[in-house]
Every structure is written in C-alpha cells, then in structure tokens.
Amino acid sequence: MKLTVACVAVVVLVAAGVVDSCTPADREALVAFKSALTEPNLGIFNTWTGTDCCNNWYGVSCDPTDGRVNDLILRGEPEDKIFEKAGRSGYMTGSLSPSLCALDRLTTLVVADWKGISGEIPSCITSLPHLRILDLIGNQITGKLPDDIGKLQKLTVLNLADNKITGNISPSIVNLGRLMHLDLSNNQITGVLPTDLGKLSMMSRALLNRNKITGAIPRSIASIYRLADLDLSMNQISGSIPAEIGSMPVLSTLNLDSNQITGELPVSLLSNSGLNIVNLSRNSLDGFLPDVFTPGTYFSVLDLSFNKLKGPIPKSLSSAKYIGHLDLRNNHLCGSIPTGFPFDHLEASSFTNNDCLCGSPLLRVC
Ligand SMILES: *[C@@H]1O[C@H](CO)[C@@H](O)[C@H](O)[C@H]1NC(C)=O
C-alpha cells in the first residue's frame, strides 16, 4: 500500500517535471542573455542555476504545458521583497544579448529601470512573433528603433522611454495595428513623425516628449479614436496645430509645450469639453484667444504662457465650471481680466508680462 502511494507520487512528480521544465534551447538563450549582463547589487541571477529555468529563476515564467519561456520580467525598481531587503534599487550594466531572439514564444519582455544597461536593441527582436509587451524603460540603450518594428503584429505596449535612442521613428511603426501604449519619451529621436501615424487606431497613449523631433504634427493623429493622452512636448515641432485635434472624442491630455508651433489656437481645442490638461506653453502661437468657453469648460491645466497671443481674455472664460491652473504669462494680451469664480484663486503671476492687461489680480487698474 505504502509502496503504491510512493509510486504514484513519483509518477506524478515526473509527469509534472516533464511538462514544466525548461527546454534546453530556452535555457541556453537565457544563460547567454545573463552572461552579457552584470548585476552587482542584489544577485538576482544567482537564482538562475540548475537546468529548470521554469522553476524559481527570478523573472522567468514559462507556459506550463510545454515548458517554453513566455515572460521575462526584470524590473530594477519594483515593490519586490528582494529590493526591500537590500534597501536599494537595481543597477545593471552590460547589454541585451541577441540570444533573446531564440526565446520565440516570448510574449512579455521587461528589462526596466536598471539605469546602466547600454548597447542597442537587438535587431532580431522583430522576429519574436508573439511579443505583446516590450518595456526597456530607464536604461542607457543607444541606436535606432529597428527598421522593421512593424513586424511585431501582436505588440500592445512599446516603452523605450528614458534611454538614449537616436535616429528617426521607423515609418513601419504605423503597422503595429494592436499598439495601445507608445512611450518613447526622453530619448534623442530625430526626424519627422510618420504622416500616417493615425493608422495606429488602437493607441490610447502616445508619449514622445523630450526628443528632437522636427516637422509638423501629422493631421492623421486626429483620427485615432481611442487616443486619450498625447505628449509631444520639448521637441522641435513646427507648423500649426491641426484643427481636427480639437474634435478628438476621448483626448483628455494634450502637451505640446516647448516646441516651435505657430498659427492660431484652433477654436475646437478650447471648446472640447473632454480636454482637461492642455499645455501649449513656449511656442509661437498667435492670434486671439477664441471666445468659446461655456459652463461645460473644465480645465485642470490650461497653460498658454510664452506665446504671441493678442487681444483680450474672453469674458466667457469666467463662465467656466472649473479652471485649476491657468497661465497666460508672457503673451501680448490686453484689456481687463474677467472676474468671477474661476478667476478668484488665480495669482498675478498667471497674467504678468502681457502688453496691457489690467484689473485684479494684477495691481494695474483698468
Ligand atoms: C507647461 O510647459 C512648460 C514648458 O515646457 C513648463 O515649464 C510648465 O511647467 C508646464 N505647465 C504645467 C502647468 O505643467
């Protein structure tokens, strides 16, 4: 009887082991990946021992049915116990080995916030057909986005922010038909945005701020129905703001500050009641502030400072339901500052350095 139980247990264990264990090729790819990196603080790779990479290798998860590696998730700043214990955040040097590309069942690749990983994104990464999440934020990665990035047909998240990526945004990026979250902010990306960027119809966040992007805002962006957050600030973008952007149905945050944008403020932009955070500061916008505000107007932030806006502040602005932060400094506005609830809490600094604004909260009487 005892013997039978023991036999069954052995059989079950062996069966589970066979199903769960790492394939030799995946293990070899991980070992090569590890050998191109140095992680001196925490010793996370000390867990990468033995043959079964599916079992307790830090950051590695496998498909239990075939023992293939699905996820590789290594974060340098997680709320993980391993970091709490060590009392410091992660640091890693080295580079991303092309051996990663042998992990052809990979759906999630996160090697984030290690601060010191350099080298380029292996170009073979575009041959991983199942990749959904590619997150390499917070390293020192150089080189270009792969030219054929558009091959990653399942990609939903592309986060390469806070690196040193150069070159232009490969035009093939518009073929990422499932992309929802694009974050390339704080790199050294140059060149113009693809004119057909609007083909990214699933995209809800597009963060491209703090790069060296030139050229105009593609009009096609306005056709991205789901886009809620567009940040192109701190680039060298020129041309005017396409009026269609003001009619986007779910856009709530629009940051275009610190560029070289010219032309007038589209009327639709300030009358779009879903748009709550708007920063157009430090551009060369001219013309009048459109008189389109209503009791439906709700801005947490409306920063139009450091432009060339002229004329009066429309009286209708005082009918707004809420304006948290209004900044009209350093323009050519003139006339009396409207009174009323949305203006009561604003300080003089919101209105200074205009041509001839007057009335409270400025000291200059009208
Ligand atoms: C708007 O952008 C400017 C320039 O990039 C920045 O200095 C300012 O803090 C931003 N305004 C708000 C309210 O975040």
Domain boundaries, the chain: 17-358
For the beta sheet containing 308-311, the strands, ordered from the edge strand earlier in sequence to the opposite edge, are 286-288, 308-311, 332-336, 356-358
pLDDT at 49: 95
CA of 92 to the centre of ligand 1 (A): 33
pLDDT at 14: 44
Residue 210, token pair as written in the block: 């703090």
Q: Is the CB of 350 under 6 A from ligand 1?
A: no
* Ligand 1 atom having least distance to the Cα of 233: 5
Q: Is the CB of 325 under 6 A from ligand 1?
A: yes
Q: What is the DSSP letter of 120?
A: B
CA of 279 to the centre of ligand 1 (A): 6
CA of 327 to the centre of ligand 1 (A): 9
CA of 211 to the centre of ligand 1 (A): 16
Q: Is the CB of 324 under 6 A from ligand 1?
A: no
CA of 86 to the centre of ligand 1 (A): 37
Q: Each residue's pLDDT tens digit in the chain (366 positions)?
A: 344 444 444 344 444 445 568 999 999 999 999 999 999 988 999 999 999 999 999 999 999 999 999 999 999 986 666 666 666 678 999 999 999 999 999 999 999 999 999 999 999 999 999 999 999 999 999 999 999 999 999 999 999 999 999 999 999 999 999 999 999 999 999 999 999 999 999 999 999 999 999 999 999 999 999 999 999 999 999 999 999 999 999 999 999 999 999 999 999 999 998 999 999 999 999 999 999 999 999 999 999 999 999 999 999 999 999 999 999 999 999 999 999 888 888 999 999 999 999 999 999 999
CB 92 within 8 A of CB 113: no
Residue 246 to residue 241: CA distance in whole angstroms: 9
CA of 209 to the centre of ligand 1 (A): 12
Residue 233, token pair as written in the block: 């600030």
CA angle 15/21/24 to nearest 5° reads 130
Residue 257, token pair as written in the block: 């500050």
Estimate to the nearest angstrom the gap between the alpha carbon of 338 and the chain centroid. Answer: 37
Residue 234 to residue 309: CA distance in whole angstroms: 20
Rounded to two decimals, the pTM is 0.92
Helix residue spans in 199-266 (DSSP H): none
Residue 277 to residue 69: CA distance in whole angstroms: 41
What are the φ and ψ backbone dihedral angles of 327, each rounded to 5 degrees?
Answer: -130, 115
Q: What is the DSSP letter of 144?
A: P
Q: Is the CB of 255 under 6 A from ligand 1?
A: no
* Ligand 1 atom having least distance to the Cα of 234: 5
Contact residues for 266 (Cβ-Cβ < 8 A; gap 6+): 241, 242, 243, 245, 246
Looking at the domain that runs over 17-358, which CATH code has it been given?
3.80.10.10
CB 348 within 8 A of CB 324: no
Residue 150 to residue 263: CA distance in whole angstroms: 33
Helix residue spans in the chain (DSSP H): 2-20, 24-35, 81-86, 267-271, 341-344
* Ligand 1 atom having least distance to the Cα of 258: 5
For residue 326, what are the β-bridge partners? 302
CA of 234 to the centre of ligand 1 (A): 10
pLDDT at 16: 47
Q: Is the CB of 281 under 6 A from ligand 1?
A: yes
CA of 305 to the centre of ligand 1 (A): 9
pLDDT at 90: 87
Contact residues for 73 (Cβ-Cβ < 8 A; gap 6+): 59, 61, 108, 110
Q: Report the residue among 236, 299, 303, 327 best suited for mutation to probe ligand 1: largest number of ligand atoms under 8 A from its CB.
A: 303
Residue 315, token pair as written in the block: 């009286």
Closest by CA position to 111, among listed 159, 70, 164, 74: 74
Q: Is the CB of 233 under 6 A from ligand 1?
A: yes
Contact residues for 72 (Cβ-Cβ < 8 A; gap 6+): 30, 33, 59, 60, 100, 103, 106, 108, 109, 110, 111
